[in-house]
Amino acid sequence: MEFEREDQRKKIERFIQKMPSLSTTVGKVLEICSRTDASPNELNKVISLDPVLTGQVLKLINSAYYSLMSKVTSLTRAITMLGMNTVKNMALSTAIINSVASANKSKALPTAKFWTHSIGVGVSSKLLAVASGVSLQEREEFFIAGMLHDLGKIPFGDEYIHVLSIARQEQRSLIEVERELLGIDHQEVGKLIAAKWKLTGFMASCICCHHDIGTAVGPPSEVPLGEEDRARVAIVTLANMYINIHDIGYAGDPFPEYRNAEMLLELTGLDWSDLAAISGVVEDEIQKAQIFLQV
């Protein structure tokens, strides 16, 4: 059963066009944090003008996810403690999740299980990033990139149920079946979403290339991933494989491509023992990270 490819693409493009844009505040936050000369005070000024976003950031920093010793009531202190990059990621992830939540979704992927999978990949990405020696300042970026890597699955319609069914019955990787039946895969759809929301860099690469490391990075450019970027995206790809193998949540891909595992481990400098080592803490960390869906 092959679907009309052109119609499928147009339907997805229409869906993405109708998705809410990210707020002006979030746009300004991204703009400020992209500048090398930006100051925490500038970020504080922008976020503090948005009471909802301020409340979300403070709720997150005071959650079990960060396990701080004392309560933080000041946005300025939150930015100082967490750093501009983490606060930017907080603002961006909550805005994206809220935008996605307000869009009509296919019945193919149960919402709660989809987000459990997504958070599981985020948590595992962060734990594997720690194991690979990623700096403290960058670790949160791995959590956010992992959590959002499957955004491209959301715009698919109910015909996706058939795609998921074939992948399960034939024990094939989901992306392979998407390409065969729909003529478009969730990475390509993710690329359209990333372009709409002007997402760039590592996060866009994870959304657009987590199954095809070394091919192309998402908007705005079409250039091959550099060695460092490939290694960073490979961490998220390994985390995705880990969560699928352990059947945590559900994103429709219980039979991921294992043939790339050794290449991914080599790229990241990790080995199988690093994957085994995170198994004791993943479930607890997923529970703590649920706060990102509740702000």
Q: How many CB atoms lie within 10 A of CB 171?
A: 8
Tokens representing 56? 């979300």
Angle at the Cα of 271 from the Cα atoms of 65 and 205, rounded to 5 degrees: 60
Domains in the chain, ordered, with CATH?
1-19+105-295 (1.10.3210.10), 21-102 (no CATH)
Identify the burial level of 18 via C-beta atoms within 10 angstroms of its C-beta, where 0-12 means exposed, 13-18 middle and 19 or more buried: exposed
The answer to whether 234 and 129 have CB atoms below 8 angstroms apart is no
Give the HSE-up count for residue 29: Cα atoms under 13 Å, Cβ half-sphere.
29
Tokens representing 75? 């946005």
Q: pLDDT per residue over 129-142, tens digit each?
A: 999 999 887 888 99
Query: What is the three-class DSSP state of 49?
Result: coil
Tokens representing 146? 């992992």
Point out the least confidently predicted range of 4-13, 114-123, 209-218: 209-218
Local confidence band at 219 (pLDDT 50, 70, 90 cut-offs): very low
Determine the pLDDT at residue 217: 40
Percent of the chain that is helix, strand, coil (3-state, to 5):
65, 0, 35
Point out the least confidently predicted range of 51-60, 99-108, 111-120: 99-108
Tokens representing 34? 């992209």
Tokens representing 292? 């990102």
Rounded to an integer, the average pLDDT of 216-243 is: 73
- Cα separation of 129 and 140, whole Å? 9
